[in-house]
Amino acid sequence: MSAQGFTRAFGAAVLAAMVLVPGSAMAQRDPAYAAARAAGQVGEKTDGYLAALGGGGAVSSIVDDLNIKRRAAYTSEARTQSATVDQVAFVAGCRNIARTQAGEKYQAPDGSWQTRGAGAPNRDSRCP
């Protein structure tokens, strides 16, 4: 794919991911997910998926289920936008990290895990 083609596809993925809310609305209603997220046992990754950072098998199961749903939503959106799943997921990751609340965990561009403070999170420079 040429640089111009990538830019167009990435732009389409940006627009698509802005309207995607894969699993997050449903997950927000799950008290176990909300508790794990608030306790720092779940974090938003730069690639658009969640990571289990503690809490054992129960948290891992929740995260696995939500990541499967996210992947399905990203795949569907990628097809409609002529973008790759990774492009859609990356933009969703940018958005999801931006939406974290103070005290929640997120992955910084260098791969380290950060706890969101009152300010903006440290996001990848390629994020829209």
CA-CA distances (angstroms) from residue 117 to 18, 33, 58, 70, 102? 23, 20, 27, 26, 5
For residue 2, what pLDDT is reported? Answer: 43
So where are the chain's domains?
A: 3-115
Question: What proportion of the chain, given as a percentage, has pLDDT over 90?
Answer: 74
pTM flag (> 0.85): no
Cβ atoms of 125 and 73 closer than 8 Å: no
For residue 28, what pLDDT is reported? Answer: 52
Q: Residue 45: count other Cβ atoms within 10 Å of its Cβ.
A: 18
Angle between helices 85-98 and 56-81 (to 10 degrees): 120
Q: pLDDT tens for residues 21-58?
A: 444 444 556 899 999 999 999 999 999 999 999 989 99
For residue 22, what pLDDT is reported? Answer: 46
Q: pLDDT tens for residues 57-73?
A: 999 999 999 999 999 99
The answer for residues whose C-beta is within 8 angstroms of residue 11's C-beta and 6 or more apart is none
CA-CA distances (angstroms) from residue 47 to 4, 31, 88? 22, 24, 9
